[in-house]
Structure 1
Amino acid sequence: MDDKKIEARREIDESFKLCLFSMKFIGLSFTKPASNEAYLVQKMIVLISVCSICYHVFSEVMNIIFTFANSPKVEEVVPLFHVLGYGALSIFKMSVMWYQKDVFNRLIEELSSIWPMPPMNEESQRIKEKSLSALRVRHLGYYYVNLYGVWFYNITPIFVFLHERFQGMETKFGFVWTSWYPFDKHQPFAHFMVYLFEIYAGVTCVWIMVASDLLFSGLASHIGLLLRILQRQLESLGTTRKTEDEQYNDIKSSIKLHQRLISYCMSIEEAFSFVNLINISMSSVNICCVVFVIVLLEPMMSVSNKLFLMSQLLQTGVLCWYADDIINANARIAVGAYNSRWYEMSPRCRRALRFLILRAQKPIAFTAMKFTNISLVTYSSILMRSYSYFTLLYTMYRDG
């Protein structure tokens, strides 16, 4: 591997730093463990993580069933669904991260071979620095919102207990989640162990969500970066004195890079398509349920639930934002080619540019298992559906 590719891989790994950091806590990595002991530790963490979130989701399902059987009221059942939805989505994302880890490693390695490295013109360097800086800020914001959100949930039972005790009320120490267990969880030792388990399960879900979402957004952001640099290169065609063969070779190189980026996007689409479908399908229900809880129920959990809502809106918004960015960046490739000095080029060069423009007019889009293209329009639809579901639940709650 040459020095330029090594430096490119270092820059890419730096942009995925929070993603790789989060993956360690669920036992995943894109690099081979250094020793057999490290391999066994990694497998053990994966096993514990999977078992914890699977039981967490199972316990939420059982709790919903028993709650609905005993008291089928909207205000009793609805607060349980957003936690179940978040946990179920974590299982799907964990499955994708595990089964596709070799694919993701290949994609990152392939990205290093087309990563923009010096010497670069000033405009391309500015685009690169701006994109990497924006990605870093977004990743930090997303990481801390999720992390603070889950820890607010974890410590809320402590604050509720102290608040009620300070008010002179008769109170019992609660739990992080309202889950079902096949034993009496209120016994002192069982209570302590369940509380620790629920903390671990919740944090594990967040590590999975953060790792998956930061991986997707990082890959999509880098493709958008390369498409924007390609657009600027196309716009500069014909601005410098070159022979016909040199101009033709420049256009041919641009076409090859564009085709490679299209293939790269399709690989990302294939890896994330199923989990994107689950994400899009569940987001409206999750957002609706947590808004219902914030507006009408559980005032003591308001801060935690508001952070949960922010996390859910960001999680879905990140997916739709970067998917929309890819669509727009690819469409601007055709604009960039048209804005070049094609009218001063030879017929052969113009035919090649025409081919590029026609291909760029065909959208590159991430989909939910081919059912729908994901974009900011999708995000708007999710929010509108969430509001519709909320008004329905509110009507049922008021009439009940």
Structure 2
Amino acid sequence: MERQRALAKEEIESSLRLSTFCMRRIGFSFDRSKSVKSNLWQTFLFTASILSICYHVLSEIIFIILSIAKSPNVEDIVPLFHTTGYGVLSIAKVFALWYKKTVFRRLLNELEVIWPVIPNHNAAKTIKEQSLNALYIVHSWYFAMNICGVWFYNLTPLGVYFYKKFVGINAPLGTIWSSWYPFDKEQSLAHAMVYCFEIFAGQTCVWIMVCTDLLFSGMASHLVLLLQILGRELESFAAIEKFETAHYQDLLSIIKLHQRLIRYCKDLGEAFSFVNLVNISLSSVNICCVVFTIVLLEPFVSMSNKLFLGSALIQVGMLCWYGESIIQANASIAIAAYNSKWYKVSPRCRRCILFVIRRAQKPNAFTAMNFTNISLVTYTSIMTRSYSYFALLYTIYNKN
């Protein structure tokens, strides 16, 4: 049993290694370090990360307010919103990660207990391999796109500076983000400090965003995997001739695991519920503003904004995709129960199967603070709102 638990932990940690890597970059971990020195370093790095992104977002908000006061034109204000929204979303995510730390630790420990280290049949083995391979591809692409995106932003001021030098335009080196500082940032030393701080703050936002998104998608993917394997076991439990008592015991173990997975889904959904609400609320605005910027403004940072747009679409799409997968995987349990050759088992087993069908027909989904279920319908709604906001901004821009 201990050997299986250790193997399960190893496989789960391997599937979430990119999330863990990003967490360590901000000094966060679900487990307390055994070394005092390492624990102090984690505390310092986590504190520095939180303070940096909080000031980063605050300075951007102040800059937006000052810009509105000076020039309330759409083309001057809109390009500032999507990076600020990204920072606000990062703060919400790191707060949820820290506040629900014990919940996530418990969910990971519980996942080790029910993890299919050695699947019972070939179909379950195939499901497990396909799920882990797909998760690896999604995580790798999402990680790479976000890292490339933030470094395009980090290096854009340098690229613009050298380009202008090349064409004979004498212009100072700019900064990465549009932020307010309580000092003159044009001085050489202050400018270097600001530039380094903005690299650190922007990278920290990305570390937070990536680690929470990969944690959510990884745990949701594993939950879908377990529901799919459970469905296969339920579908085939009556295929082999057994005594009535053996069939009944098999069915009871399936029902207990199903109930456990339902509770697991509920706990995971509640842990991310607030983050999902903030995510859905801000995604339409972020996507709309960055599309407006790409189409009409700022040709020098076009590539950075395109990577931002790609990561924003993938991020909210990944959230909605796994939310839809949970709904479909839970509903498929009812179909598997009906296809389980229930007519070959005893009346007592049939009553249990009926109970499974009725329970599986009840929707089981992630929510955004119970305002809405997270599904592909939500993704469609976000895209529709983004287009509506963009059309409104485009109309105002043309009038001006």
Q: Report the TM range for the smaller structure's normalisation.
A: over 0.9
Provide the C-alpha distance between the structure 2 equivalents of 1:105 and 1:18, rounded to a whole number of angstroms. Answer: 17
Q: Secondary structure at the match of 1:173?
A: coil
Distance (Å, rounded) in 2 between the aligned partners of 1:185 and 1:352: 70
* Residue 120 of structure 1: how far off its partner (Å): 2.1
Q: What amino acid maps onto 1:217 in structure 2? A: S
Amino acid of the structure 1 residue aligned with 2:197: F
Aligned to 1:232: 232
Paired residues for 1:241-390 under 5 Å = 241-390=241-390
Q: Which residue of 2 aligns with 1:216?
A: 216
Deviations 1:350-375 (A, max 9, x none): 00000000000001100000000010
Q: Which amino acid aligns with 1:365?
A: A
Shift of 1:117: 2.0
Counterpart of 1:75 in structure 2 is: 75
What is the match of residue 62 of structure 1? 62
Q: Distance in 2 between matches of 1:241 and 1:156?
A: 68
CA distance in 2, matches of 1:23, 1:118: 29
Displacement of 1:119 after TM fit?
5.4
User: Partner of 2:100 in structure 1?
Assistant: 100
Equivalent pair of 2:60/2:84 in contact (CA under 8 Å):
yes
**Structure-2 separation of matches of 1:105 and 1:63:** 39
CA distance in structure 2 between the aligned counterparts of 1:238 and 1:252, rounded to whole angstroms = 13
Conservation of the 8 A alpha-carbon contact between 2:54 and 2:91 = yes
Separation in 2 of the partners of 1:380 and 1:129? 30
Using the alignment, how far apart are the partners of 1:310 and 1:287 within structure 2? 9
The answer to whether structure 1 residue 197 and structure 2 residue 197 are counterparts is yes
Q: List per-residue Cα deviations over 1:148-203 (Å, max 9, x = no partner).
A: 00000000001111111111112211110011101111110000000000000000
**CA spacing shift, 1:169–1:119, aligned 2, 3 Å:** closer
- Could you tell me which runs of 5 or more consecutive residues in structure 1 were left unpaired when the two chains were aligned: none
Q: Secondary structure at the match of 1:253?
A: helix
Residue 216 of structure 2 aligns with an amino acid whose one-letter code is F
Aligned-residue RMSD, C-alpha: 0.8
AA partner of residue 361 (structure 2): Q
What is the rounded CA distance, in whole Å, between the counterparts of 2:314 and 2:183 in structure 1? 37
| 2-structure distance, mates of 1:28, 1:118 | 31
Q: Aligned pair in 2 of structure 1 residues 238, 123: CA closer, same or farther (>3 Å)?
A: same
After superposition, the C-alpha distances for 1:318-345 in whole angstroms (9 at most, x for unaligned) are 1101011000000000000001110111
Q: Structure 2: which amino acid aligns with 1:260? A: R
- Deviation, structure 1 residue 60: 0.4
> TM-score, length-normalised on structure 1?
0.99
CA distance in 2, matches of 1:26, 1:42: 8
Q: CA deviation at 1:103?
A: 1.1
What are the within-5 Å matches in structure 2 for residues 168-183 of structure 1?
168-183=168-183
Report the CA distance between 1:101 and its aligned residue.
1.4
Distance 1:119 1:211, change over 3 A: closer
User: In the alignment, does 2:57 pair up with 1:52?
Assistant: no
SS of the aligned residue for 1:281 comes to helix
Matches within 5 A, 1:19-34: 19-34=19-34
In the TM superposition, structure 1's runs of 4+ consecutive aligned residues that sit over 4 Å from their partners are none
Is 1:11 aligned to 2:11, yes or no?
yes
SS of residue paired to 1:226:
helix
SS state at 2:209 partner: helix
What is the CA–CA distance in structure 2 between the aligned matches of 1:219 and 1:119, rounded to whole Å? 18
Q: Structure 1 pair 119/163, CA: closer, same or farther in 2 (3 Å)?
A: closer
Superimposed CA distance per residue, residues 242-281 of structure 1 (whole angstroms, 9 cap, x where no aligned partner) = 1111111111111100000000011111111011100000
Are the counterparts in 1 of residues 119 and 125 from structure 2 also a CA contact under 8 Å?
A: no
Q: Which range moves more in the overlay, 66-75 or 339-348?
A: 339-348
Query: What corresponds to 2:41 in structure 1?
Result: 41
